[in-house]
Amino acid sequence: MSQHLLIFPIILPLVAGLLLLWQRQGAVLVKRVVGISATTLLVIVGIAMVITADDDTIRYYALGNWQPPFGIILVLDRLSAIMVLTTALLALASVIYASAGQDEEGSNFHGLFQLQLMGINGAFMTGDLFNLFVFFEVLLIASYALLMHGGGKGRTQAGVHYVVLNVAGSSLFLFGLGVLYGTLGSLNMADMAVRVQYLDATQAGLTLAGALLLLTVFMLKAAMLPMYFWLPRAYAAAPAAVAALFTVMTKVGIYAILRVFTLIFGEKANHLANISLPWLWWGGLATLVLAGIGVLSARDLRTQVCYMILISVGTLLIALGMHHESSIAALLYYTIHTTLITGGLFLLADVIDDQRGKAGARIVKSRPVLQPTRLGLLYFIGMISVIGLPPLSGAIGKALILLSAEASERAWLWPTLLISSLCGIVAAARAGSTVFWHTSAGEPSGTPMGKLRSIGVYSLIGSSIVLTVFAGPLTAYTQAAAEQLLSPERYIQSILIRDTEGDAL
């Protein structure tokens, strides 16, 4: 079975999802058990992949046994392994949280959840650009369905914006793909990377257009300014367990940029070398500024988390734009951190909402929450972590990114990033002291967190502590992943080895 390891992250949730969807009705308990077990297995698969990828070999899996560059392949390197494991961990916590009752607010939750995972994992694993598009579609439609879970006006409205913008993005993806296939004549990423090196100068402009169209789509997915608009409302409206899983979706955009614009349009891309960098750098800075303002403006804990996500998006884009090995290593560490923590914060906001009666998650004076100490502590730790204050993983991630800047980049990066952190501090101090301290008389309402929800919230927010303690080995791993990414020839050789034996291009 181990030779099929690479397809497990896709097949496992697919089969589990289909089984779960067989009957719309059906025993809830069974669905929960299947959903949680499948996700647990996914975590194990993720761990296996991370360990497998650590021997520095890049493996591929040729679907239908059609060898690259002709067939579709899945590729396992350190980057895809990290992303799959992060997704699996986040998903496990989310699905456990959802099993406390949120899954029952609408139909087909667990099945759709698994298919969403299939889409996300597929995007991380694939080595084929059109296949990436397909998985973008899978995760988009599944996320739309999940966003609608439970229904309601707010979700429907946010959902329309979400789906329309993203479907438009899909069309642009196809435009870009069409142009690139027209000039490069291949869809296999490794093959495209080779072909772009020998690209005729007269084709360069057209290929650039195609590449930048792809970049637009990935920026939209990553929620960069000015294409982030779909994010705040949709994420704030989504059911907590879904919103938590969604935190990895912006990272799919980041991942796609990282993959495509290091492998195909990276250093060695001749006329098109590193074309994305200035856009990412300035776009990231602009996003960071906007997100800083956004965090201050948030009237609701969920919205606040949304802008915290945007802060992380800006930070990640900047790191992408810097493109040093150290900054890529830093951004990978930061990605794991921000995905898990913001996911945990969405869950926490939901628990708080549940215990505050009419005030919900709004940042207003209201009756106290039922479990002030527990929730207060979780909020405190979560905020420290997400803002990037010591001693937790956010600080490590941000310090790594700050440190990776070169002298000329510091002048822009440092003040922007640090001031956005300050905005975070101000906003979190206001929100936290209002929600937990500025309470009116009145009996707390709602239900205590319960076992399943506690597992979800504690594990995600607590992950920050794990990420901190094991920051040494983790950063070593991300450093190795960054090295791998910045030597695309290794990727190409692993996949197109036959081409070195004379198969002319």
Partner 1 sequence: MTLLLIVLLPLLGTLVPLIGIRAGRTYCAWLTALLPAVALGITLYLAPLVFSGNVPQFFLPWIPQLDLHLALRLDGLSLLFVLLILGIGLLIILYARYYLSEQDSMGRFYAYLMLFMTSMLGIVTSNNLLLLWFFWELTSLSSFLLIGFWSHQSDARKGARMALTVTGAGGLSLLAGFLLLGQIVGTMDLSVVLQSGDQVRSSPYYLYALVLILLGAFTKSAQFPFQFWLPKAMAAPTPVSAYLHSATMVKAGVFLLARMFPVLAGTDLWFYFVALTGLVTLLYGAYFALLKQDLKGVLAFSTISHLGLITMLFGLNSPMAAVAGVFHIINHATFKASLFMAAGIVDHECGTRDIRKLNGLWRYMPYTTALATIAAASMAGVPLLNGFLSKEMFLSESLDAHMLGGLSWLIPALATLGSVLSAAYSLRFIHDVFFNGEPKNLPKKPHEPPRYMRLPIEILILLCIVVGLFPSSTVSGLLNAAVTAVVPAGYEPEIDLAIWHGFNLPLLMSAIALGGGILVYALRHYIYNFHRQFRSQDPNVIFEASTQAIVRVAQQAIDRFENGSLQRYMFWLLLTALGFSAYGLIESPRLSGNLPAQSIDWAVAVGAGMLCLSGLATVFFHRRRLISLIMLSVVGMLVSLAFARFSAPDLALTQLAVEVVTMILLMLALFFLPQKTPKESSGRRIMRDVLLAGAFGGVVASLNYAVLTRPLQSISSFFLENSVPGGGGHNVVNVILVDFRGFDTLGEITVLGIAGLAIFKLLNRLKLFMPSSDMEGRPWSPERFPAILASMAQSLLPLALLVSVFIFLRGHNLPGGGFIAGLVAAATLILLYMARGVEWAQQRLDFQFQPIAVAGVLIATLTGLGSWVFGYPFLTSAFGHFHIPLIGDVELATALLFDLGVYLTVVGATLMILANLGKVTTPHRPSKEKR
CB nearer to partner 1: pick between 299 and 451: 299
Residue 18, amino acid:
L
Provide, rounded to whole angstroms, the least separation between the CB of residue 434 and partner 1.
8
Q: How far is CA 64 from the centre of its chain?
A: 29
Please name the residues in contact with 287: beta carbons below 8 A apart, sequence gap of 6 or more: 223, 224, 225, 228, 310, 313, 314, 317
Closest CA to 454 of 363, 362, 377: 377
472 is a contact residue toward partner 1 (CB under 8 A):
yes
Q: Which two tokens stand for residue 164?
A: 């329309």
DSSP 193-240: HHHHHT--HHHHHHHHHHHHHHHHHHHHHHT-TTS-THHHHHHHHS-H
Tracing tokens 């614009």 back to the chain, one arrives at: 261
Report the residue from 9, 46, 69, 321 that binds partner 1 according to the rule CB under 8 A: 69
Report the residue from 30, 267, 278, 391 that binds partner 1 according to the rule CB under 8 A: 391
| Distance in angstroms (rounded) separating the CA atoms of residues 241 and 343 | 8
Q: Which two tokens stand for residue 171?
A: 């069309």
CB nearer to partner 1: pick between 19 and 34: 19
Site for partner 1 in 16-45 (CB under 8 A): 18-19, 21-25
x/- contact string, 340-379, with partner 1 (CB under 8 A)? Answer: ---------------------------------x------
Site for partner 1 in 239-278 (CB under 8 A): none
Report the residue from 33, 56, 57, 66 that binds partner 1 according to the rule CB under 8 A: 66
497 is a contact residue toward partner 1 (CB under 8 A):
no
399 is a contact residue toward partner 1 (CB under 8 A):
yes
Q: Strand, helix or coil at 60?
A: strand
CB nearer to partner 1: pick between 141 and 340: 141
Provide, rounded to whole angstroms, the least separation between the CB of residue 220 and partner 1.
6
Provide, rounded to whole angstroms, the least separation between the CB of residue 38 and partner 1.
14
Residue 146 and residue 116 in contact, taking contact as beta carbons nearer than 8 Å: yes
How many residues belong to the site for partner 1 (CB under 8 A)?
128
Tracing tokens 């650009």 back to the chain, one arrives at: 129
Report the residue from 110, 149, 337, 367 that binds partner 1 according to the rule CB under 8 A: 149
Provide, rounded to whole angstroms, the least separation between the CB of residue 70 and partner 1.
5
Applying CB under 8 A, which part among 30-38, 334-342, 353-361, 468-476 lies near partner 1? 468-476
The runs of H, that is alpha helices, within 405-487 are: 407-432, 451-469, 471-486
Annotate 358-375 with b (16+ C-beta within 10 A) or e (fewer). Answer: ebbbbbeebbbbbbeebb
Site for partner 1 in 118-137 (CB under 8 A): 118, 122, 130-131, 134-135, 137
141 is a contact residue toward partner 1 (CB under 8 A):
yes
Site for partner 1 in 413-442 (CB under 8 A): 414, 418-419, 421-422, 425-426, 429-430, 433, 436-439
Residue 201: burial class (beta carbons within 10 Å; 0-12, 13-18, 19+): exposed
486 is a contact residue toward partner 1 (CB under 8 A):
no
Report the residue from 5, 34, 296, 455 that binds partner 1 according to the rule CB under 8 A: 296
| Distance in angstroms (rounded) separating the CA atoms of residues 382 and 316 | 19
9 is a contact residue toward partner 1 (CB under 8 A):
no
Closest CA to 267 of 222, 225, 213, 328: 328
Residue 406 and residue 324 in contact, taking contact as beta carbons nearer than 8 Å: yes
Provide, rounded to whole angstroms, the least separation between the CB of residue 10 and partner 1.
9
